[in-house]
Structure 1
C-alpha cells in the first residue's frame, strides 16, 4: 500500500489547438460544469498549430468561476522563471487563487532552439529547472527583505524585486520520469505529474520510492508531494483494457492506482465534451466514495501532512502539536511550513509564533480556544492583522487568526443593518455597501480588519457626523473563554454588549458583528499641505471644532531631520453638497502658509480602498503613544510642536472627534471618552525616549487614551483608557466572563478578584 492520503482531485488535459479556439475554451467550461477541479493544457511555444498556453490559461480563468488552471507542463527553456513567477502570481490574484504551476525541464530541443532557446543536455536541463524553482519561490516570497538573488549556472537573478505574492499557495508540479528529475521532485516540488502513456504501471513503485527517498533526505515528509497522473481512455459498454470500458471499470482501476501507488489527482486527456461529462459525473464521485470507504477501513491517515525532521526541529516548547484537533490541523501553520512567512507577522511588527490556527467558522474558533487553553504559551487573536500595537502576533505562542471569517452581508437595506465577519477589511465593507448608498465610518485605511476596530473604537473620517464605529454596532457574536458561543445585544447579555464596544479584546473572540450603516452617496475629500507651526495646530483645532458635523479632519505633522516640519490635512465632508463642503473647507485654507491643496467629489470606497496587502512586519517596530485632548490649546499646540522638533517623534497625527462621538453618555459603552474633541498619536523609533518626552511634554495636556494607537505596555495605561467606574465595571465583568484572564495579551483588564495594588478600583 502506498496511499499518501491526499484529497482526490480530477481534471482535464485539453489540446490547445488554434483552428477553433472557442472549442478549447468551451471544453474547459464543460470541465467546470461536470464538477471537475482542474483544466490543463500542454505548452509547446514552437508549435504554430497551438494557442499560446499562458494566454489561454488567462482566458480560461476569466471564462470560468471556480476551475483551477495549469500548464501541463510549462516549457521552462522558453519562459524565464522570474517572468513565470510574476505571471503566475498575477493570474492567481486576478482569478481568486485558481492557478497551479506545472513545470517541465524541456524536450523537443530542435523546436526550442529554433525559437531562440538554448539547447541543454539532460543533466543541464534538470539543474536549470532546480534553479528556476528557487527563483520562482523567491519572487513569491514577499516576507523576505531585499531583492532576489539566485546565482545559478543557467538562471541568474541579481536583486530582482519581490512580488507580487500569489492569492494562494501555488503548487509546483514537475513532469518527471528519470532519476535526477524524480530526486528533484522529492526535494523541491509539490507534486509529481507523469503521463500514463509515457510511464508504464510497473514503473510507478520505483519512481515513488525515488521521490520518497529524496523527500526524506531533504527533511520533508513524502506526503508533502502530491502524486498526479495524466490518463487517457474511452468509455464503452464492455471492458477491453485499462480505462477502456464502463465507468464502474474506470473506478475499480483508478482505485488501485490510489491505494497501491498513491495517485490522488487524475487528469483526463480528452477533447470530447461527452467523455469529460461522464468522467466528472460518473467516475469522479464514485471514486471519491470508494476511496473514502477503503481509507476508513484501512485507517489511512489523511489531511495535514506530517512534517519532516527539519520542520519538527523548529517546533516550540509549551505547545503539544500532536494534540491539535484534526478539524484545525488542515489550516494550521507552524514554523517550517511554506505559509509561515505569510502569517507570522502583522502590518508593522514581526513575530515568530509557534503555531497559527486559521479558523474558518465559529466552531473552529471554539475548538482553537479549547486547544489553546491546554497549552503553556500566550494566545494572540488576529482579524485583519493591521493593529499597530503588534499584539495580534507573538513569539513562541499561538495565534488564532480569524481572517477567513470575512463575510459581508447586508441584512436590511432599509435600516442599513449589515453583518460582518471579523476578518473582513473595511475597504471591502465600503465597496460592498456603496452600491446601496450606505457607509460605516471606519478609520482611515481600508486594510484594517473589522474585528479589532469594531470592538475598540473606530475613529474614522466620518466620526463627527456618524460617531465611532462601535457606536453603530447593534449586536456581536463571540466565543467566550470557556468556549461558549453567545450573542450580545441590547436584549441578550447586555452587560457583555456594553463591554464589547470598547474593550472587546478582553472578553472573547468575535465571530460576527452587526452594525447599522448610514445613508451616504459621494463625499468631498480634500488634501492640504502647510508649513508647520504651533499656531497653525491651534488654528486648525478651532476651525474644526466650529465646523459643521459633516466635516472631519485629520492632521499629520511630519518633522524630518533635514526638512522643515510640514502639516498635511486629510479632510472629509460626509455628503455630496459641494457648495456646503466648500464653505466648510475654505476656513482651513487660511490656517497657515499653504503649500498645496486639492479636493474631489468621489465615492467613499475611494477614500478607504482595500489594498489586500500581505503583512510582513516592518523591520524595527516603532513605538506609539496616544492621548485625547479636549481642545488644541496654545499650550497643547506648543507641546505637540515641541515633541516634533525634538526629533523623538518625527510623525504625529491629530484626529478630530467630538460631534456625534460626544452625543453618547460616557457610561453608555466601555469607550468612555465622550467629552474630548481630538485624538493625538505619535510615532518614534525609541520607546524609552518617546515615553520620556511624551510623559514630560504631552501627558499634562491629555485626558484619556485610545488603545488602538498606543504600544506602551505599562499597566497604568488602563486607567487612561478606562477611567473610574468604567474600569471597575469592566473588571467585575471580566471576573464573570474570563475569570482565568485567558484574553490577556491586548491591554489586559485583570478580573476583579485578581486586583493588584497598582490598579485600585
Structure 2
C-alpha cells in the first residue's frame, strides 16, 4: 500500500483507572510536556474500574494547552449520536480545536445491555454507526440553516437545530477490523484506528485494501482516510528483542516501512510508563519524522489533505493550488472544505478568499508569503479577525490566518516580560497572565486578536494609567515581504522596530511580540446607562470629568440610536483595587446626565475582557469613521449630537486616551498621536454611508488626527491624518526598503518612497 502523505502524529493510550485518577491525568500532561500530539483513553462505560471517558477527556483538555484528546474508542451504543454531536462540538470549542472523535460500533454487549443499551448484531452495528456518522456531520454543519432531520432504522431525529459548530473539522476515526466495518471506514470516516495486536485477520494490507475500495465506491479518494495504529507490546532496550522491542533507532527502522508501504501516519503507544513515553517523544518521533520527510522528498509523495471532487470543482481559476508547499497544505482551507465557513469571514466583513493558509510557525508564514506573492491575487493577513476596518479577509485572494500561532508565555516574571503570538485573543492573554498578577491593556473586547491591536496602537481600559499596548512592546518577530524572519528591537533593525509599533501591518507579518506587562490583578469597574437626549451636554460633562480624573481611571462611552431617543452606555475602569480611591474617582461621573441604571464592582481584569470566541460571519457594521480629539469641546459635542439625533448613525463611541499615552514623545513610535485625549468612532449601515459622511465632514474640522484601525476608508488623503509628518515620510522610506513591491497593502497602504530608499 502506498504512503498516503499525512502529517505524522504520535500519542499515548492511557489507562483511565479510577483507582488512581491522578496518574491518568499526569500521564496526559507528560504526553504534552514531552511534545507528543495526542492523548487517548479507552471508552468502556460498563467497567466500574475506569473513569468515565468523556469526563476524563474534558478534564485533561482543561489541564493542557496544545494536546489533542480522543477516546480510543467511544462505545456508540452508550452515546446517543445527537447528544454526542453536541458534546463533541462543545468540547472542541472549549479546547480550542483539540478534540478528535474515536468511535466504535460496540463491543462487550453483555455490559452494554446491562446498562440499558440495545444489543445489536455485527451487521446492525455497522448500519447504526453509519447513521450516527450522518447525524454527527449534520449537526455540526451550521452552514445549513434548516433543521436537521433523519429517519433512520436505529437513530431517528425528527427535527433539531444544528450546532454548535466545532472549532475545527473534528476527525471521526473508526475502530474497525471486520470487512463491513473497514468498507464503512472508507466510505464515511476520516480515520481508521485499530490496534496492531488485533490485526491478525484480515492482515494490515488486506484491511487497507478494503478501506480503499470502500472509499472509491463512495466517490472518495482513499488518501482522505488517515491510518492510525495503537501499539501495546512495545519497550525500549539496548538490544533487539523483537518488533518494537529494542533501541529507538530500531523503532524508527521498523516504523518507517509502516508509513511508506502501509500508509500508517499516527502511532499511539499503550504503555503507562513515563520513561517509555519520554523516549518515544524525544528519540523516536523526531527521527521518524525526519526519515519520512526525506523519503517523501525523494519520491515526490504529495502531502496535505486530499479534497473530494466537489471541493476541487470550486477552486478558483488563476491560483496554483498544486504549488502549495506540503507544510501549508496540511492546514489549508479551500472553498467547499468543511472549515471554510468558519475562516472565510471577519467579524465585520464577509469574504470569499480562494485559499486560507493557516501556518503554525514563522517558517511556515515565510512559506505562505512566498507562495502568495507568486499568485498575483490579493493577500490579507488575519490575527483575530475582529478588526473594525475589516481588512483581514478578501474576495478571490489568499488569506494568511494566524490563529494557530496563539501561545501566551511568561518569559520572566521578575521582569514582567511576556511573549505573545498574534493569533491569541486578548481575553486569553488576560486569563494566562492573571495567575501571575500581571495584565496588559488591550482594547475593550476579549475576542480581539493580539496581532492587529499590538501593531497599531492598542487603546484599552488601562490606557490612561499605563499607555498604549505598543508602548510596552520591547521586541517582535516579523516575517518581511521577502520572507526573511527578523527579530526587531532597540538593537536589531531599530528602524523596523519603530515602524512595527504603529504601522506593523504595512511591513510584514508579526509572528511574536515581547512586552513588559504590569502589575494589575483586580480593577474597579462601573457601568452607567444614561439618557442621552441632551447628547452634547452629556459628552462635554463626561469629557471634562475624564480629563480631571486621576490617571488610574479610563472610560469608554457609547451612544446608541434608540427607538425613543439616544441612550448612552458608559464604562469606567479604575486600574487598581483601592476601593476608596476608586470610589473617589468614579463618583464625579454620576451627574453627567440622567442615570437610568448603574452598577459598580471589583473584578479581576481577566473577567472584564473574557473571550467569547464568537464565530465570525460578517455581522458588524461595515462602514466606520475614526478621528481623535484633544478635548470634547462644545462645538464638537454639538456636531456629534446632530449626528446621533439624525437617525443616520447607529453608534458613536468615544474612548479616553491621554494620561500615560501622552507621556511618550511622538517620534518614539510610528503612532505619533500623543497630544489627544479622546478617540472617536461612528458607524452605520450601507444605506446611510452618504449621510454619515456629511455628518463626519461637519465634525472633521474639530478632529486632530485619526486612529486607523477604526476607519474603513483607505483613501490616500487619509494617510496624513493617520501618520502626520514627519512620521509618514519616514514610513515611506522604510516601506521602500522592506516592502518595495507593496505586498502588504491592505492596512492603510503606505506608498514606498523608492527615490530615497537605501538598498539593504
C-alpha separation in 2, matches of 1:290 and 1:423:
28
The answer for the alignment partner of 2:675 in structure 1 is: 675
Give the direction of change, closer, same or farther, for the CA distance of 1:436–1:677 in structure 2 (3 Å limit). Answer: same
Deviation at 1:177, TM superposition (A): 4.6
- Cα distance 1:293–1:542, how it changes in 2: closer, same or farther (>3 A)? closer
> 2-side partners of 1:438 and 1:21: how far apart?
33
Q: In the alignment, which residue of structure 1 is the partner of 2:582?
A: 581
* TM-score of the superposed pair, with normalisation by structure 2: 0.85
With over 3 angstroms needed to count, the CA separation of the structure-2 counterparts of 1:78 and 1:549, relative to structure 1, is same
- Report the counterpart of residue 319 of structure 1 in structure 2: 319
User: CA separation in 2, counterparts of 1:35 and 1:705?
Assistant: 45
The aligned residue for residue 366 of structure 1 is 366
1:681 to partner: Cα distance: 0.8
Mapped partners of 2:246, 2:294: distance in 1: 21
Q: Which residue of 2 aligns with 1:720?
A: 721
The question of whether the paired residues in 2 share the 8 Å contact of 1:523 and 1:572 is answered with: yes
Displacement of 1:101: 1.6
Distance 1:496 1:741 in 2: 15
Deviations 1:21-59 (A, max 9, x none): 788779879988999765655545456676544345456
Distance 1:521 1:58 in 2: 28
- 1:563/1:692 Cα in 2 relative to 1: closer, same or farther (>3 Å)? same
Q: Secondary structure at the match of 2:570?
A: strand
Report 1:634-645 matches (<5 A).
Answer: 634-645=634-645
Q: Alignment partner for residue 541 of structure 1, among 540, 543, 554?
A: 543
Q: Secondary structure at the match of 1:319?
A: coil
The CA distance in 2 between the partners of 1:516 and 1:283, in whole Å, is 36
CA contact (8 A) 1:89 1:165 kept: yes
| Structure 1 residues 477 and 569: alpha-carbon distance in aligned structure 2, compared to 1, 3 A threshold | same
Q: Does 1:150 align with 2:152?
A: no
Aligned to 2:753: 752
Aligned partners of 1:234 and 1:275 also within 8 Å = no
Shift of 1:89: 4.0
- SS class of match (1:716): helix
Q: Label 1:589 to 1:221 Cα distance change in 2 as closer, same or farther (>3 A).
A: same
CA positional deviation for 1:555: 0.5
2:546 and 2:205 map into 1 onto residues whose CA distance is 76
Name stretches of at least 5 consecutive residues in structure 2 with no aligned partner.
none
The 5 Å alignment of 1:238-637 reads: 258-265=259-266, 288=288, 292=292, 295=295, 299=299, 301=301, 303-411=303-411, 413=413, 416-532=416-532, 533-534=534-535, 535-560=537-562, 562-611=563-612, 613=613, 615-619=615-619, 622-637=622-637
Deviations 1:124-158 (A, max 9, x none): 5444423322332344456x374751333223163
| Inter-partner Cα distance in structure 1 for 2:431 and 2:106 | 45
What secondary structure is seen at the aligned counterpart in 2 of 1:261? Answer: coil
Whether the aligned pair in 2 keeps the contact of 1:216 and 1:308 (CA below 8 Å) is no
CA offsets per residue over residues 483-522 of structure 1, 9 Å max, x none? 3334444444444333322222112222333333344453
How has the CA–CA distance of structure 1 residues 578 and 276 changed in structure 2, closer, same or farther, with 3 Å as cutoff? Answer: closer
For 1:10 and 1:548, the matched residues in 2 are separated by 55
Contact 2:40 2:69 in 1 (8 A): yes
Deviates more, 1:117-126 or 1:224-233: 117-126
Q: 1:758 maps to which residue?
A: none
Change (3 A) 1:598 1:318: same
Cα distance in structure 2, aligned partners of 1:209 and 1:293: 24
Give 1:658 deviation, angstroms.
2.3
Q: Which secondary structure state, in structure 2, belongs to the residue aligned with residue 557 of structure 1?
A: strand
Distance across 2 between alignment mates of 1:402 and 1:748: 21
CA contact (8 A) 1:81 1:136 kept: yes
Distance 1:76 1:581, change over 3 A: same
Secondary structure of the structure 1 residue equivalent to 2:556:
strand
C-alpha deviation, 1:387, in angstroms: 0.9
| Counterparts of residues 10-159 of structure 1 (less than 5 Å) | 40-46=40-46, 52-58=52-58, 69-92=69-92, 99-106=99-106, 112=112, 115-118=115-118, 125-140=125-140, 144=143, 146=145, 149-153=148-152, 154-156=155-157, 158-159=159-160
Point out the more displaced range, 329-338 or 568-577.
329-338
CA offset at residue 344 of structure 1? 2.2
Which region of structure 1 is more displaced relative to structure 2, 10-19 or 317-326? Answer: 10-19
Shift of 1:302: 6.2
User: Aligned with 2:716: secondary structure?
Assistant: coil
Decide whether aligned partners of structure 1 residues 643 and 213 sit closer, same or farther in structure 2, where only a CA change above 3 A counts: farther
CA contact (8 A) 1:353 1:397 kept: yes
Whether the 8 Å contact between 1:380 and 1:391 is mirrored in structure 2 is yes
**Hey, what does 1:743 align to over in structure 2?**
744
Match of 1:759 in 2: none
What SS does structure 2 have at the residue aligned with 1:458? coil
Gap change, CA 1:65 and 1:465, over 3 Å in 2: closer
Q: CA–CA distance in 2 between the matches of 1:693 and 1:206?
A: 73
Q: Structure 2: how far apart are the matches of 1:208 and 1:262? A: 8
Change (3 A) 1:467 1:121: same
Aligned length: 749
Aligned CA distance change for structure 1 residues 200 and 703 (closer, same or farther; 3 Å): same
| Change in CA separation of 1:274 and 1:735 when aligned onto 2, cut-off 3 Å | closer
Q: Identify the range of structure 1 (217-226 vs 34-43) with the bigger mean alpha-carbon deviation.
A: 34-43
**Rounded Cα–Cα distance in structure 1 between residues aligned with 2:27 and 2:488:** 50
Give me the whole-angstrom Cα distance separating, in 2, the residues matched to 1:286 and 1:500.
35
Instruction: State the shift of 1:191 in Å.
Output: 0.9
Cα deviation, residue 553, structure 1:
1.0
> In structure 2, how many angstroms separate the alpha carbons of the residues matched to 1:720 and 1:278?
56
User: Structure 1 residues 157, 14: closer, same or farther in 2, change over 3 A?
Assistant: farther
Distance 1:189 1:692, change over 3 A: same
- Where do 5+ consecutive residues of structure 1 fail to align? 756-761
Deviations 1:615-648 (A, max 9, x none): 4223475322212223223332233233223332
Offset at residue 234 of structure 1 (A) = 8.5
